[in-house]
C-alpha cells in the first residue's frame, strides 16, 4: 500500500506532538493524585455576622478573572498583511512587465482598459491592499481573529499562485 505524500509528511509531526503532550499530561495527573486532601482538623474561620454565609461556615469562591486579550494586532497579523501587500506589488510589477511584451501575455482577470491605464491600475492595486487591511481589522475587532487569519491565508495563497503564474509566463518564450 502506498502512503500519500501528505500523510507521510504529517505522520512524524503527529508523532512528535503526541510525544511532547503525553509527559505533560502525566505530570498534571501526578499533581492531582499527590494533592493534599483536606482533613477535619482544619481550624474554622471566625464567624461573621449572623445570617451571613461566613457565619454558616460557607465561604464564597471567587472565580478567576479572565484576562481579555486586547483586540490589537500581533506580529503574525502584521506579517500576513505585509505579505499580501508585497504580493500585490509583485502582481502590479509582473503585469506591467507583461504589458511590455504583449505577444507572450494576455490579461485574463481584469479588463484591458484598467490594466493598460497605469494610474488606474496602481490605484486598483492600492485599493485592494487597503480593503484587505480594513476587512482584516474589522474581523479582528469583532473577535473573529481565526476567521480573519483563515481568509488571509487563503488570500496570500491565491495571490502567490497568481504572481508565480505571471512570472512563469514571462519566463517562457512566446509560442509561434
75, 78, 113, 143 from 152: Cα distances, Å: 14, 11, 29, 15
pLDDT tens profile 145-175: 999 999 999 999 999 998 998 888 887 765 6
Q: For 25-80, how does the pLDDT look when each residue is reduced to its tens digit (9 = 90+)?
A: 555 555 555 656 555 554 555 555 555 555 555 666 677 776 666 667 889 999 99
101: confidence class by pLDDT, cuts 50, 70, 90: confident
Judge whether residue 176 has pLDDT over 70. Answer: no
For residue 159, what pLDDT is reported?
Answer: 93
Read off the pLDDT band of 95 (50, 70, 90): confident
pTM of the shown model: 0.57
pLDDT on residue 11 = 53
Looking at residue 130, its pLDDT comes to 95
Amino acid at each position: 500500500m502506498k502512503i500519500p505524500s501528505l500523510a507521510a509528511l504529517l505522520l512524524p509531526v503527529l508523532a512528535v506532538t503526541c510525544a511532547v503532550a503525553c509527559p505533560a499530561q502525566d505530570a498534571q495527573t501526578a499533581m492531582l493524585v499527590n494533592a493534599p486532601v483536606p482533613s477535619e482538623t482544619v481550624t474554622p474561620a471566625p464567624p461573621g455576622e449572623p445570617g451571613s454565609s461566613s457565619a454558616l461556615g460557607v465561604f464564597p469562591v471567587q472565580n478567576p478573572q479572565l484576562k481579555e486579550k486586547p483586540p490589537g494586532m500581533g506580529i503574525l497579523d502584521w506579517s500576513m498583511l505585509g505579505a499580501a501587500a508585497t504580493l500585490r506589488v509583485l502582481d502590479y510589477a509582473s503585469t506591467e512587465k507583461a504589458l511590455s511584451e504583449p505577444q507572450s501575455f494576455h490579461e485574463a482577470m481584469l479588463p484591458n482598459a484598467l490594466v493598460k491605464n497605469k494610474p488606474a491600475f496602481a490605484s486598483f492595486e492600492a485599493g485592494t491592499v487597503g480593503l484587505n487591511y480594513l476587512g482584516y481589522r474589522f474581523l479582528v475587532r469583532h473577535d473573529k481573529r481565526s476567521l480573519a487569519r483563515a481568509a488571509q491565508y487563503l488570500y496570500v495563497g491565491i495571490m502567490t499562485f497568481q504572481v508565480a503564474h505571471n512570472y512563469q509566463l514571462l519566463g517562457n518564450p512566446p509560442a509561434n
